[in-house]
Amino acid sequence: MTRWITEPRRIALLATILVVAVIAGLLVTARLSSSSYAASAAPYRPNPRAVATPEQARESVPRPPMRAEPPSRQRAWNGPDGTQRTTGTPSMSLTFDDGPSQFTDEVLDMLDKHDIKATFCVIGSQVRSHAAQMRRIVADGHTLCNHTWSHDLRLADRTPDQIVKDLVRTNDAIHTVVPQAKVRYFRNPGGNFNHRTVSVAQNLGMVPLHWSIDSRDWESRDSKKICDLVEGNAHPGAVVLLHDGGGDRRETMKALKKLLPFLKERYELIAMP
């Protein structure tokens, strides 16, 4: 009898435990569902560590390198070994190499007639014997450029000390004749620049000056070819290579009579600043 009574109670107890377990499970499920919904319904809050501030965003954008010179000037530095071969402006510049000589006065007369300023790249050994032309170049407002003592085409092969001596000797000769003149530029004979000649010139306070248009008057004996070459390649910012010395320049003189008015009509012509 006792065993029969105990068995139903045990069954009832088990049933009660089962019911309680089911109810507890339902409550837990409901709570989890509620929490999940609340989490999904809550507005998105970004992690402050994961999002950059505007200042940080600007800092993360790559910036161009700092420039020591204005952009227009910086664009001019596009010649071999870091030389300058354009004016860096819309204006063109005529440069005359290998003087002063017996042709320099004629060049100066034509420039004066058309109110044009230019740059003269002078040979140091010729300066004293053409002192009058040197003084006129400066008095007329043209720019001077160091073109070495003796037009050494192999200057780039010399040692730094030899290059320094050559350029300093040339500047000293210039200042003997025109003491107050500034020599702002250096042009390697033949345009044969390398890192040594560029570095020495810069250390002496001169800008290494190349060109963007070669008139080839140094090889041509035909003024029309000289004109056609310069006129056909003329562009804003061009630096034009011409010669007032170094040989017979009569064809260059003829070419200039046509070139100067042609270029003056189309471009502002300046001396290198």
82-121: pLDDT as tens digits: 999 999 999 999 999 999 999 999 999 999 999 999 999 9
Catalytic residue among 130, 217, 243, 244: 243
Q: What is the pLDDT at residue 28?
A: 41
Look up 147 and say whether it is catalytic: no
C-alpha 107/C-alpha 14 separation (Å) is 122
- Across the range 28-53, mean pLDDT stands at 37
Q: Which long-range contacts (CB under 8 A, 24 or more apart) does 233-236 make?
A: 234/92, 234/263, 234/266, 234/267, 235/92, 236/89, 236/90, 236/91, 236/92, 236/267
- Is pLDDT larger for residue 122 or for residue 17? 122
Closest CA to 95 of 214, 268, 246: 214
Per-residue model confidence as pLDDT tens digits over 173-207 = 999 999 999 999 999 999 999 999 999 999 999 99
Catalytic residue among 81, 97, 142, 166: 97
- pTM for this prediction: 0.73
Average pLDDT in the chain: 81
Per-residue model confidence as pLDDT tens digits over 157-177 = 999 999 999 999 999 999 999
- Across the range 253-258, mean pLDDT stands at 98
Look up 166 and say whether it is catalytic: no
